[in-house]
Amino acid sequence: MRLSQYFLPTLKETPSDAQIVSHRLMLRAGMIRQMSAGIYAWLPLGYRVLKKIENIVRAEQDRFGAIEMLMPTIQSADLWRESGRYDAYGPEMLRIKDRHEREMLFGPTNEEMITDIFKREAKSYRELPKILYHIQWKFRDEVRPRFGVMRGREFLMKDAYSFDIDEAGARRSYQKMFAAYLSTFARLGLKAIPVRADTGPIGGDLSHEFHILADTGESQLYVDPKLFEVDMKALGPDDDLAGFMERITSLYAAADELHDPAKAPKELVTRRGIEVGHIFYFGTKYSAPLGAQVVGPDGTPVLIEMGSYGVGVSRLAAGIIEASHDEAGIIWPDEVAPFKVGLINLKSGDAKTDTACNDLYAKLNNAGVETLYDDRDERAGGKFANMDLIGLPWQMIIGPKGVEKGVVELKRRATGERHELSVDDALATIARG
């Protein structure tokens, strides 16, 4: 993409109303703009990041056997009356009346709806187990939305729901999602810590939150340092997931009020964390009131055992920035970077430099390397600052002197390391990662 043709409105000044660094940087890097309180448009650069996160979340759900579908945003109030949550949910639920005065709502979560869908179709225990998920926009009408997309009102969530014939099955589904989540966050370039959690308004008796580490996190975490040594990406769906979860959860990890110093080990690390995932096993909490049952092996009806599993996809975009930035701007992990390379033309308008840049840009495109080419007629200093701000993993810098010498300068954003290399060597370095 040529920057001159892109829509990337970066800001030099720090927006005064943004309190946390990810919010400031997402505004400055031209990723998002606020449309109403807690409601954001994702500009092209931000949208690319959001899609990359979404695709990694999706790939790991699929790998662990969850099946994707899509539920609507608008739900009928009646379903929520059946579960008893219509009144219980309070003013965070955005309630709507349609033109026929029917009571609707913008879904904050989908336990009721998926239970309703599943109960209409599933007849026999043979159709279980099953995990269904979707990635859809949700709405929670926060009293004071703040921190950008970290605590917005309209947000993108991946929510999965498991259906099993008994508690043992439901615990296996829970273990699958537990492993899938740790693998997802690792693939996103994040250290994630699972901590035992309260079940809150979803209900149930087993629940974990997943926090990513960032100095600016809202939660205080108390963690056994051995937890940092576990390889979270190593597992697949056919491995011993019960053993894996047992091994992980036997290591102490707690957030804030659930921390119990009496139970904690001597060697304990405290860190700040941002909650980006939450999983629940809640048994028949929804299947009972909604009458979701299948015929069991002995021919009698059995209520379905369920769990739900949420990842804050849009929040992750902010969370990754909180975990990975410096004074100059964002430092994208390779896996979610909106482009892999930023190509900087130091002297746009100079025929030889333009030709060298155009050649390199074509080579990068042909090699399938996502490249943002700053071809604008701007000062070099401004281009450097802009590229550091938006945080692409690699910068390739070409000016008249380099063209003369037949080299480009390759800079790794994360370390600041710079090397003069031939074009071929620079391309090879990028290809190696």
Contact set with its own copies (CB under 8 A): 5-7, 9, 30, 33, 35-37, 39-44, 46-47, 50, 65, 67-76, 91-92, 94, 96, 98-99, 102, 104, 106, 113, 116-117, 120-121, 130, 132, 134, 137, 139, 141, 143, 153-154
Q: At what angle do helices 167-187 and 241-249 cross, to 10 degrees?
A: 70
CB of 398 to its own copies, least distance (A): 23
Closer residue to its own copies (CB): 131 or 197: 131
CB of 114 to its own copies, least distance (A): 9
Closer residue to its own copies (CB): 48 or 278: 48
Closer residue to its own copies (CB): 70 or 262: 70
CB of 309 to its own copies, least distance (A): 16
Closer residue to its own copies (CB): 68 or 334: 68
Closer residue to its own copies (CB): 138 or 171: 138
Per DSSP bridges, beta strands 74-76 and 154-164 are: unpaired
Closer residue to its own copies (CB): 153 or 315: 153
In this structure, the chain runs to a length of 433
CB of 190 to its own copies, least distance (A): 23
CB of 389 to its own copies, least distance (A): 16
CB of 413 to its own copies, least distance (A): 23
The angle formed by the CA atoms of residues 290, 294 and 296, to the nearest 5 degrees, is 140
Q: For residue 428, what are the CA distances in angstroms to 69, 110, 308, 357, 414?
A: 40, 47, 44, 17, 18
Closer residue to its own copies (CB): 3 or 341: 3
Can you list the positions of beta strands (E) in 264-407? Answer: 269-283, 293-295, 301-303, 305-312, 325-326, 329-330, 341-345, 371-374, 394-398
CB of 98 to its own copies, least distance (A): 5
Question: Residue 293: left if φ>0, alpha if ψ -120 to 50, beta else—which one?
Answer: beta
**φ/ψ (deg, to 5) at 216:** -95, 10
Closer residue to its own copies (CB): 46 or 194: 46
The Cα 174–Cα 207 span in angstroms is 9
On whether the CB atoms of residues 374 and 10 are closer than 8 A, the answer is no
CB of 118 to its own copies, least distance (A): 8
Using alpha carbons, select from 379, 376, 424, 420 the residue that is nearest to residue 397: 420
Q: For residue 314, what are the CA distances in angstroms to 41, 231, 326?
A: 11, 25, 21
On whether the CB atoms of residues 146 and 270 are closer than 8 A, the answer is no
On whether the CB atoms of residues 383 and 3 are closer than 8 A, the answer is no
At 223, list the tokens: 């963690």
On whether the CB atoms of residues 393 and 413 are closer than 8 A, the answer is yes
Residue 72: count of CB within 10 angstroms of its CB: 11
Q: Token match 């014939």: residue?
A: 165
Closer residue to its own copies (CB): 37 or 428: 37
The Cα 429–Cα 433 span in angstroms is 7
CB of 326 to its own copies, least distance (A): 26
Closer residue to its own copies (CB): 117 or 414: 117
At 341, list the tokens: 């390379």
CB of 89 to its own copies, least distance (A): 12
At 184, list the tokens: 């997802």
